[in-house]
Amino acid sequence: MSHKGEVLFLDKTHPRLMEKLINIGYHCFFEDDMSVEKLVKLMPDLTGIIVRSRLQLGREELQHAVRLRFIGRVGSGLENIDVDYARSKGIACLNSPEGNRNAVGEHAAGMLLSLVNNICNANYEVKKGLWNREKNRGMELRGKTLGIIGYGHTGSAFARCMDGFGMKIIAYDKYKTGFGTSMVKEAGMEEIFNEAHILSLHIPLTNETRYLVDASFLSQFKHSIYLVNTSRGAVVNTSDLTKALKQGKLKGLALDVLEYEHLSFESLEMVDLPAPFRYLADHPAVVMTPHVAGWTHESLIQLSDVLFEKIRKLD
């Protein structure tokens, strides 16, 4: 078997990805403490890089690439890669959103159900010996309108998870049309502002979407809404969310992502907890999880399999 080149793994993935790449002729090695300086020195010899989100692969790093054919992102977001520059050098930028779309859809559904039925708060209280039935009365989803922004892999997976609850599902995607079905209605933002009782975000973090959801955005909703975010933390302005909760524009929040996350998503990038975070953490109508919506045992395998197939097809 011919030697196809060196593939550097910058983050941990399921071992089957490395095994499969080795089986088709790549030499693979893993460096979990890679510095930018060391990466730059290795770059001229690399054929491929496998990454999640720990390091930025920008122009400064990629300009040293001579043999690099692909960057494989184990996951969906490519915000830590200068995709335009990479592609200008003939480097394929591959991601694997198909691998964890079901996981994200199920997690978003679970967070929403927990939120509208006060499950997290009720669970905490009952374990403390408190029996507050009226305080924890829930809201049924039947008859409500669910608005989805971003109807790609995860947005459509979430819609499938919510189908059957008797809701009207409407979705907006700036870069996709013609996706309406009997399950979901393709809609414009005006319709979402006018009809949605629940809003779920499924969009990448770009210059266009950073702080998309701010005070001005939320003020346009006719109804007080529940907001679900499993995309990226900086898509919303956290300070404005706290104000909207206080004003009643938001009924509740389900957040799997926070704008305070470290670039790697592995920790919160703050020494002192900022006031907006403390407010959300103490609020009974806020449910938060640590960026794990797409991180199930099954998706860990599927992400690797999807990415391998995309790399294999480059040959």
Catalytic machinery residues:
232, 261, 291
Task: Classify burial at 164, counting beta carbons within 10 Å of its beta carbon; exposed 0-12, middle 13-18, buried 19 or more.
Answer: exposed
Collect contacts of 205-208 with beta carbons under 8 A, ≥24 apart: 205/77, 205/79, 205/231, 205/232, 205/234, 205/235, 206/79
Q: What are phi and psi of 9, to 5 degrees?
A: -95, 115
**Cβ neighbours for 295, distance < 8 A, ≥ 6 positions apart:** 100, 103
DSSP one-letter code for 57: B
DSSP one-letter code for 97: G
Q: Which residue has the tokens 């979901």?
A: 184
The two structure tokens encoding residue 307: 């990415």
Radius of gyration of the chain (CA): 21
Cα–Cα distance list, 250 to 196, 227, 266, 303, 308 (Å)? 12, 7, 28, 34, 42
189: part of which helix (H) or strand (E)? helix 189-195
